Structure 1
Amino acid sequence: MNTVDEVPMNQSRRTPVRPGWPELGVAVLAAVILYAVGSTIAYLLPAGSPVSPGQANFLVSGLAPLGAFVVAVLIRIRDVRPFGMRRVHPGWLLAAIAIALACFALSWPISALFDPFFPGSESVQQGYRDAARSGVLSLVVTIVLGGLLTPIGEEVLFRGVFASFLFRWGTWIGVIVSAAVFAVAHGINSVMPIAFVVGLSTGLLLRFSGSIWPAVVVHVVYNSVGLLYHGIGY
């Protein structure tokens, strides 16, 4: 079975090719620029726009990290396999679905435990909930953007680039630090603790499956179930 260390070899030096400082640097720079530009555009959308604020934010949250990932791939390596884009045994994908549902179930006790430490942040995801509750078409669009595009974009950046880069210092450095960066990227608010748990799960799946796709499945299922939960009126 593949592991994250089974990466293409540099033919001239016979050393493993993996994301390094150039990939990390350009990915961070590109992500900051793309998030800033996208967030500004989303903020300036006129009232009554067919794209709701929640959908616009999901669009930015998917396209900005995806763009940063593309830049990181093209800067030097020009091969997606060192970033975890490899085939994986279907058993890992089934395990990912179970892990995603477990993370969703854990979101309630985690929220109950940590929400008191983040007063005033209860409305952080209200725009996403509103988008999910604005009719069937809006719910479908929101799931496509927030349940599919955003997870793919965030996983290829935070796991494909960040975690793959950090694994050179060991499994736990890669998993924990990438999960922490992922959590902080969601803001210092009540979302951060559960984002850290999801980040730990997806980082471990990347490390032990050797593929990013189980991590993507966890994120897709977790986000989609949450949007459906809010979309049907809870």
Structure 2
Amino acid sequence: MKNNTVKMEARPDTERRPQWTELIIALVVAVLVYGVGIVLLGLFPAPTPALEGLVGLLFSGAAPILVFAIVVLSRIRKLPAFGVRRVSPRWLLIAVLLAAACFAVIFTFDTVIQHLFPGVDDSQDILRAAASGGILALVGTIFFGAVLTPLGEELLFRGILTRFFERWGGGVAIVVSALIFAVWHGINLVFPSALLVGLVNGWLMVRTKSIWPGVVLHIVYNSAFLTLYSFS
């Protein structure tokens, strides 16, 4: 009995990552959760654009957290298997610096695109309405869009998807999960920013085996853009 315990504790990280069962459960639950959510949002629309943006951000953060919780409870119950583990503070600082770099790159890219193609739709009008709807709306926008949503999306896309695809190598895990993350945000002007953040956060996950650097980067990045939206 003692020897078996030692062997279980000595299993390499590769044997504890999410398996096909967790991936299938995540896909099925995501379809159900997002499908029901989209239907309910359509049946009961918010009375104002600002409130519509807040409700949308709340849903975008709560839905992936719910999917993640169901996946964890379905089979693997140890959170470190999904990257929910402690990491050196040095990596959190690196994440902040990388967030600033990503913001600078995407802000420059968006500015150039808006200059070359005036009036191009970036699909962020609802977020701008929420961020500029007053101080309470801005606080709600920052919390839902720059705290809850980054946490939920990192748990789902990095904690489950990146960790799952690591079985075929770090490079594959980073690129494939980033592409899925970007497509999930839509084929529009947001796609490049989602792809960049997905690639960087995928690299942070593969490098540290922890979701927290990616969560920090995502929080800083989203906070910067949502604060910018409050002035537009």
Give the TM-score normalised by the residue count of structure 1: 0.88
Structure 2's unaligned 5+ residue stretches are 1-5
State the partner residue of 2:39: 40
Does residue 1:186 correspond to 2:191, yes or no?
no
> 1:10·1:17 contact (CA, 8 Å) conserved in 2?
no
Query: What is the alpha-carbon distance in structure 2 between the residues aligned to residue 117 and residue 157 of structure 1?
Result: 35
Can you list the C-alpha shifts for 1:82-134, whole angstroms capped at 9, x where unaligned?
A: 10000000000011011111111111333356679999861511001110001
State the partner residue of 1:92: 91
- The offset of 1:45, in angstroms, is 3.0
Query: What is the alpha-carbon distance in structure 1 between the residues aligned to residue 118 and residue 168 of structure 2?
Result: 36
> 2:173·2:202 contact (CA, 8 Å) conserved in 1?
yes
> 1:39·1:60 contact (CA, 8 Å) conserved in 2?
no
- The offset of 1:28, in angstroms, is 1.2
Can you list the C-alpha shifts for 1:46-103, whole angstroms capped at 9, x where unaligned?
A: 4536971111111111111111111111111111111000000000001101111111
Change (3 A) 1:210 1:137: same
Structure 1's unaligned 5+ residue stretches are 1-8
The amino acid that maps onto 2:52 is P
Can you list the C-alpha shifts for 1:192-217, whole angstroms capped at 9, x where unaligned?
A: 11100000010101111121100000
SS in 2 for 1:96: helix
Query: What is the alpha-carbon distance in structure 2 between the residues aligned to residue 158 and residue 105 of structure 1?
Result: 23
State the partner residue of 1:165: 164
Query: What is the alpha-carbon distance in structure 2 between the residues aligned to residue 51 and residue 115 of structure 1?
Result: 23
State the partner residue of 1:150: 149
State the partner residue of 1:220: 219
State the partner residue of 2:62: 63
State the partner residue of 1:28: 27
Query: What is the alpha-carbon distance in structure 1 between the residues aligned to residue 184 and residue 66 of structure 2?
Result: 16
Does residue 1:128 correspond to 2:127, yes or no?
yes
Query: What is the alpha-carbon distance in structure 1 between the residues aligned to residue 113 and residue 119 of structure 2?
Result: 13
Query: What is the alpha-carbon distance in structure 1 between the residues aligned to residue 204 and residue 79 of structure 2?
Result: 18
State the partner residue of 1:11: 8
Query: What is the alpha-carbon distance in structure 2 between the residues aligned to residue 128 and residue 190 of structure 1?
Result: 14
State the partner residue of 2:74: 75
Change (3 A) 1:170 1:118: farther
The amino acid that maps onto 1:103 is C
Query: What is the alpha-carbon distance in structure 1 between the residues aligned to residue 7 and residue 115 of structure 2?
Result: 51
State the partner residue of 1:205: 204
The amino acid that maps onto 2:68 is F
> 1:110·1:194 contact (CA, 8 Å) conserved in 2?
no
Query: What is the alpha-carbon distance in structure 1 between the residues aligned to residue 60 and residue 125 of structure 2?
Result: 16
SS in 2 for 1:19: coil
> 1:114·1:193 contact (CA, 8 Å) conserved in 2?
no
Can you list the C-alpha shifts for 1:150-177, whole angstroms capped at 9, x where unaligned?
A: 0000000000000000001001000000
Query: What is the alpha-carbon distance in structure 1 between the residues aligned to residue 167 and residue 43 of structure 2?
Result: 41
Change (3 A) 1:170 1:129: same
Change (3 A) 1:47 1:160: closer
Change (3 A) 1:164 1:47: closer
The amino acid that maps onto 2:146 is G
State the partner residue of 2:51: 52
> 1:118·1:189 contact (CA, 8 Å) conserved in 2?
no
State the partner residue of 2:3: none
- The offset of 1:44, in angstroms, is 2.9
